Amino acid sequence: MSRRAARTTALLPVLVVALLLSLATAASAAARVVYQHTWSPPLALTSSYKACCKTSAAVATLPFSLNVNGSQASTLTVTMRTRWVDWKARHDSPNIVQQGRWVAPPLIKMEIGQGARPAAHRAVCMFVAANGRRLTAVGPAIDVADGAWHTITCQKSHDAATATAARVDVDGVMGTTVLIRNGPLGNLISSSPVTLGGRTAVASTDSLDGYVSRITYVLS
């Protein structure tokens, strides 16, 4: 191992601790609440998707932005449930909330993981910078497509000199912290709207087809 590589390896635990502290700060009382809303009864974001023809989906456009500078940590929390059990996540990743698109980053997105088995249907959060750098965090081993209520928390750390961290927690259970290395993620600033329940009001396989009772977005 080269001296440079050895120094990098030695510094990595320190970097991880610093970024974990940043994640904790994002959830602290000192953080600034950008947006918070509770729906009672829960907001219905149902979809009538059919492969044969164009149908509609309920999608809400929210009056705030998920924009976050590299110097800031962010925490996005959504309480939701699906109107179905597992089968819609077998072939796609139903959207919960997003700002931006894969084809037009920056993108910040919370979704349900795709896979043939229920174990794959974990909460997922993605951050994609305008230059294409991507950070994806997967939640703990909890199926969030089981038709039950779940609270999903997506956290991004502030940028360190060489990395950015993210973590997804579900129902109070912490997920694994992941890092993007070889440089920070940078600013995530988009003029796209924040949509809840899918990309557009045209139903597709990634429409949520479920309910949301609460959303909170915090910066620190």
Beta bridge partners of 179: 165
Classify 74 as helix, strand or coil: strand
> Maximum CA pair distance of the chain?
61
Three-state DSSP class for 27? coil
Could you tell me if residue 147 is left (phi over 0), alpha (psi between -120 and 50 degrees) or otherwise beta?
Answer: left
3-state DSSP call for residue 15? helix
Ordered DSSP codes for 151-165? EEEEEEPPP-SS-EE
> Residue 138: which CATH number?
2.60.120.200
Cα 164 to chain center, whole Å?
Answer: 15
pLDDT in tens, 82-117: 999 999 999 899 999 999 988 889 999 999 999 999
pLDDT (0 to 100) of residue 57: 83
Here the tokens at position 144 are 């969030």
CA angle 211, 214, 218 (to 5 degrees): 135
Tokens of 159: 């940028």
**Tens-digit pLDDT profile for residues 54-79:** 777 889 999 999 999 999 999 999 99
pLDDT, one tens digit per residue, over 150-206 is 999 999 999 999 999 999 999 999 999 999 988 899 999 999 999 999 887 676 778
Count of the separate structural domains present in the chain: 1
Q: Please list the alpha-helical segments (H only) found in 56-204.
A: none
Helices (H) and strands (E) in the chain, counts: 1, 12
Write down the pTM of the prediction.
0.88
Spatial separation of the C-alpha atoms in residues 162 and 11, rounded to whole Å: 11
Matching residue, tokens 């059990």: 85
Residue span of the structural domain in which 96 resides: 3-219
